[in-house]
């Protein structure tokens, strides 16, 4: 019986790199982990051998050596919402530029999924977490030893929060509709049960309406609310929506009812994402500084990962009023 020769692929080890480069294993480790002084000549020699041998470092061993996994967990309720989609895009790009990978967790707004994802990220020993998820009362956030930054969510008293200036956004949106002559202005908001800085949009709307002797009316984003809004308020002439997707639905329903925008009804949204601008270029909106929010969230997370203390818990970034053809 003839034996068949098989090509055996030998996995390249750190010892092989050290031997071929003529240096110690410790030197190779220092080059890989960028620790300690290494001359440029030695560093180049090691990198050349790594490339020649196609050496793939053991990431688990590396993470144990430097006590870092270089992985960040992201927990968000959905990736289909343009605001979250654009925010996650920037978070991933910025993380990659700093040498970090991300684990993206889509909780679908479910408390059980959010809790399990949080536990999973802790088990995988990620270096930190950025969360924009919705659910309240998840004790794992309070008990976590990991650095965490929240985006537009209050997760606990000790977790820093990054958001846009929601109150100023709500104020500018409502003032614009009043300046355009609107008298019956309705606000469409998310669930008031969520502990989020975005609730300040509604607070600002109510304050501006009362200051101008107008009656505030708020509809919650649920259960055919847009049809009810138009049926119950035939004289509505201004709508401030809490995000651009809702504003787009309002515009579509108004067109179905042959309501002229902006002559008979003026509409302004919130977020100002690139996708919304592309699809609904005429929409007036409050634009959030999404890239800057992502940059600040990463900066705050890296500060915590590096053992630095933060000077405050809540950060707000300025918004911008974009006036389009719907007002």
What is the predicted pLDDT for the residue at 38? 82
Of all residues in the chain, what percent carry a pLDDT higher than 90? 55
By CB neighbour count within 10 A (0-12 exposed, 13-18 middle, 19+ buried), where does 184 fall? Answer: middle
Reference 303, options 94, 149, 113; nearest CA is: 149
Higher pLDDT, 146 or 235: 235
- With bands split at pLDDT 50, 70 and 90, how would you rate the model's confidence at 24? confident
Per-residue pLDDT band at 8 (split at 50, 70, 90): very low
Distance set, CA 114 to CA 111, 190, 191, 287 (Å): 5, 19, 18, 28
pLDDT for 113 equals: 84
Region for 232 from its dihedrals, namely left if φ exceeds 0, alpha if ψ lies in -120 to 50, beta otherwise: alpha
113-116, long-range: CB < 8 A, 24+ apart: 114/75, 114/138, 115/140
User: Which two three-digit tokens encode residue 223?
Assistant: 């259960």
Q: What is the pLDDT of residue 47?
A: 84
**pLDDT given at position 280:** 83
In this prediction, residue 57 has a pLDDT band, given cuts at 50, 70 and 90, of low
pLDDT value at residue 276: 81
Return the pLDDT at 326: 96
Residue holding tokens 């030998």?
A: 10
Rounded Cα distance between 324 and 280, Å, is 10
Look at residue 268 and give its three-state secondary structure. strand
Q: What is the pTM of this model?
A: 0.79
Nearest one of 131, 128, 133 to 301, comparing CA atoms: 128
Task: Assess whether pLDDT exceeds 90 at residue 311.
Answer: no
Instruction: Report whether 102 contacts 92 (CB < 8 A).
Output: yes
Would you call 198 helix, strand, or coil by DSSP? coil
Question: In angstroms, rounded to a whole number, what is the distance separating the alpha carbons of residues 247 and 278?
Answer: 14
Q: What pLDDT digit, counting tens, does each position of 175-188 carry?
A: 999 999 999 999 99
pLDDT of residue 3: 44
49 has pLDDT over 80? yes
Tens digit of pLDDT for each residue in 259-304? 999 999 999 999 999 888 877 889 999 999 999 999 999 999 999 9
Q: Which of 235, 263, 265 is nearest to 250 (CA)?
A: 265
Residue-wise pLDDT for 88-139, tens only, equals: 999 999 999 998 999 999 887 788 888 888 888 887 778 999 998 866 667 6
CA atoms of 201 and 180, how far apart (whole Å): 19
Smallest CA-to-CA distance from 133 within 174, 173, 169, 88 is with 88
The dihedral sign for the CA sequence 174, 180, 183, 186: negative
Confidence band of 240 (pLDDT split at 50, 70, 90) = very high
Question: Is 99 in a helix, a strand, or coil?
Answer: coil
Least confident of 20-29, 77-86, 154-163, 287-296: 20-29
**In the structure, what pLDDT confidence band is assigned to residue 1 with cuts at 50, 70 and 90?**
very low
CA–CA distance, 85 with 277 (Å, rounded to integer): 14
Closest to 155 measured CA to CA, from 131, 127, 175: 131
- Count how many Cα atoms sit within 13 Å of the Cα of residue 32 in the half-sphere of its side chain: 22
User: What is the structure's pLDDT at 289?
Assistant: 97
- Supply the mean pLDDT for the chain: 87
């Amino acid at each position: 019986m003839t034996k068949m020769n098989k090509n055996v692929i030998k996995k390249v080890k750190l010892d092989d790199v050290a031997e071929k480069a003529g240096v110690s294993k410790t030197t190779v480790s220092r080059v890989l982990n960028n620790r300690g002084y290494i001359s440029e000549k030695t560093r180049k020699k090691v990198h050349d051998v790594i490339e020649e041998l196609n050496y793939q470092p053991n990431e688990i061993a590396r993470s144990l050596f430097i006590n870092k996994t270089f992985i960040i967990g992201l927990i968000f309720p959905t990736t289909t919402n343009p605001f979250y989609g654009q925010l996650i895009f920037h978070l991933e790009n910025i993380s990659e530029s700093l040498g970090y990978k991300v684990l993206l967790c889509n909780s679908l707004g479910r408390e059980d999924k959010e809790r399990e994802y949080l536990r999973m990220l802790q088990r995988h020993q990620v270096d930190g977490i950025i969360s924009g998820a919705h659910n309240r009362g998840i004790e794992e956030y309070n008990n976590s030893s990991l650095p965490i930054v929240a985006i537009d969510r209050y997760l606990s008293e000790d977790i820093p929060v990054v958001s846009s200036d929601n109150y100023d956004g709500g104020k500018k949106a409502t003032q614009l509709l009043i300046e355009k002559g609107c008298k019956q202005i309705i606000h469409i908001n998310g669930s008031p049960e969520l502990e989020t800085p975005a609730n300040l949009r509604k607070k600002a709307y109510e304050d501006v309406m009362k200051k101008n002797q107008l009656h505030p009316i708020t509809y919650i984003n649920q259960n055919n609310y847009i049809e009810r809004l138009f049926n119950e308020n035939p004289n509505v002439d201004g709508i401030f929506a809490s995000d651009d997707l809702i504003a787009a639905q309002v515009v579509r329903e108004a067109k179905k009812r042959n309501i002229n925008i902006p002559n008979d009804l003026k509409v302004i949204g919130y977020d100002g994402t690139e996708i919304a601008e592309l699809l609904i270029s005429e929409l007036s909106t409050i634009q959030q500084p999404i890239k800057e929010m992502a940059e600040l969230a990463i900066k705050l997370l890296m500060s915590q990962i590096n053992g630095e203390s933060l000077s405050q818990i809540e950060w707000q970034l300025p918004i911008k009023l974009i006036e389009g053809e719907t007002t």
